[in-house]
Amino acid sequence: MRTILIFLILFLALFLISNSLFAMDVYVAPILHVDETQESNRGANTTQADLLQALQRTETGVVLRFSSVRDSRINPPQSLTDAVSVCRNEQINYLLYGYVTRRSHSVQMEIRLFDFENRSVMQAFFGMDDSGNYERLVSDIARKIIEYIASVFNLESLLDRIEHTRLSIPLSTGYWTPIQSDWIDVMFGTVSATTGLNFTPTDNLFTIKGVSWYLSTGLNVKYRLGLGNKERYEAYIHTLYLTLPLELSTRLTRQHELFYGLGFVYFLDFFIMADKYSESKTHFYYNFGFNANFGYRFNVNNIVSLFFRNDFDFLFNENNLFTYSPSIGVSFHIFTREVRNRW
């Protein structure tokens, strides 16, 4: 159990460090709304939320994150003095603020990117469209903002990234250990090895707040060896797994990913046991189980990925066995087809 806690703490630390190292945070202030159409029934000003939603629809991973200012009750900032005050009160470095003007036949918007450290407007983004194309205008402004920030700060812009459909072969090795105390007393875990075939229909299934998510499935085969406690009896336990996994991955950057999975397990146990006063006997068992896992993946290039994985297996038989298995491995993408990003 202590080993499991250590791995979980290391994984959590890796997740927190990756977020802090890669992230650039930009905040959206309330946007001034000027309506010259005299339509009193238009409703509340939603420009801040609309712009934030448009920014977050684009996959930027954790290298670039957009959020609204914490105090949404403030008046829309219009001057440098207002922007300085908002940044100081919110303790932020980069702020987006500006206005949108609606007229009978047109709508126009101007958004400024303010740098608190240098006390200056880095860039102003202006756009105009027909009055019926407000959403298109907001999306166009959001795209300009992301392209500018990506170019100035040398961040990886994923606006024009291409989706991939992939077939991969994972190879991994590790060790395993029972979790329950009654099994720990009679059996020791040793090595494990896994391979298989994984299929990813698209590596950009959907995007939430700038972070891309996708699903994978396939068939994995695992072998592991267990040893009996020699103080009680000599035994060897050979286990063969067949797992149908469903894995959800999130891309932090183009190279760094986290993944979480569930799987249906069918396992075969070959149990070879020898008492002190009798010959060895071989017992054969088979049954079903359940797998839960999570881990970290580093994409070296379009062909090779390295990963660290934590597996929790629940094997159901007369004496249910719960195990934990950390492993490291490499995945080879044997087939890749490019698909233009739909979003």
Residues of the chain above pLDDT 70, percent: 84
Mean pLDDT of the 80-108 span: 94
Do residues 91 and 172 both lie within one domain?
A: no
Residues 189 and 128 in one domain: no
pLDDT band for position 253 (50/70/90)?
confident
Write out the residue range of the structural domain in which residue 111 sits.
22-152
Please state the rounded mean pLDDT for residues 316-322. Answer: 82
Mark which of 99, 124, 152 sits at the end of a domain: 152
CATH number at residue 203: 2.40.160.20
Within a domain: residue 10? no
**What is the model's pLDDT at position 221?**
96
Check if the beta carbon of residue 282 is closer than 8 Å to that of residue 292.
no
Final residue before a domain boundary, out of 104, 121, 152: 152
Report yes or no on 6 lying in a domain.
no
pLDDT, residue 5, reads 55
Residue 260 inside a domain? The answer is: yes
Inter-CA distances, 57 with 139, 275, 309, Å: 9, 64, 29
Same-domain pairing of 112 and 176: no
Residue 39 has pLDDT above 70, yes or no: no
For residue 342, the model assigns a pLDDT of 46
**Which CATH number goes with the domain that contains 36?**
3.40.50.10070
148 plus 168 within the same structural domain: no
What is the C-alpha to C-alpha distance for residues 150 and 210, in angstroms, rounded to an integer? 13
Query: Given a cut of 80, is residue 154 above it in pLDDT?
Result: no
Q: Are residues 246 and 129 in the same domain?
A: no
**pLDDT tens track for 260-300:** 999 999 999 888 876 656 667 777 888 899 999 999 999 99
| Domain contains 253 | yes
Pairing type for strands 25-28 and 94-102 reads parallel
Assess whether pLDDT exceeds 90 at residue 116.
yes
pLDDT digits (tens, 9 = 90+) for 128-149: 999 889 999 999 999 999 989 8
Model pLDDT, residue 254: 79
Same domain, 109 and 191: no
User: How many structural domains comprise the chain?
Assistant: 2
Q: Is the backbone of residue 61 left (phi > 0), alpha (psi -120 to 50) or beta?
A: left
Q: Give which of 298, 289, 282 is closest to 325, Cα–Cα.
A: 289
State what percent of residues in the chain have pLDDT above 90.
54
Residues 132 and 185 in one domain: no
For residue 195, tell me if it sits in a domain.
yes
Q: State the Cα torsion 168-169-173-179 to the nearest 10°.
A: 60
**Whether residue 146 is found in the same domain as residue 249:** no
Query: Per-residue confidence at 14, pLDDT binned at 50, 70, 90?
Result: low
Q: Choose from 30-44, 76-90, 159-173, 175-189 the range with maximum mean pLDDT.
A: 76-90
- Tens digit of each residue's pLDDT (9 = 90 or more) over 203-235: 877 777 777 889 999 999 999 998 877 766 678
Integer CA distances (angstroms), 80 to 142, 152, 175, in order: 21, 21, 59
Q: Are 247 and 217 in contact, with CB atoms under 8 Å apart?
A: yes
Q: Which of 126, 152, 178 is the last residue of a domain?
A: 152
CB 64 within 8 A of CB 58: no
Asked, for residue 201, whether it belongs to a domain, the answer is yes
Give residue 189's pLDDT band: very low, low, confident or very high (50, 70, 90): confident
The pLDDT, as a whole number, for residue 340 is 57
The verdict on 194 and 148 lying in the same domain is no
Whether residues 28 and 176 share a domain: the answer is no
Averaged pLDDT for residues 169-187: 86
Q: Would residue 121 count as lying in a domain?
A: yes
Query: What mean pLDDT, rounded, does the chain reach?
Result: 85
pLDDT at 30 over 90: yes
Say if residue 302 is in the same domain as residue 180: yes
Residue-level pLDDT at 8: 55
222 against 184, higher pLDDT: 222
Specify whether 202 is located in the same domain as 299. yes
pLDDT-wise least confident of 18-32, 50-64, 121-135: 18-32
- Angle at which helices 134-152 and 47-56 pack, to 10 degrees? 50
For residue 290, the cross-strand partners are 264, 314
Residues 6 or more apart whose CB falls under 8 angstroms from that of 265 comprise 241, 242, 243, 288, 289, 290, 291, 313, 315
Judged by average pLDDT, the poorest of 39-48, 250-259, 306-315 is 39-48
Is 5 a member of any domain? no
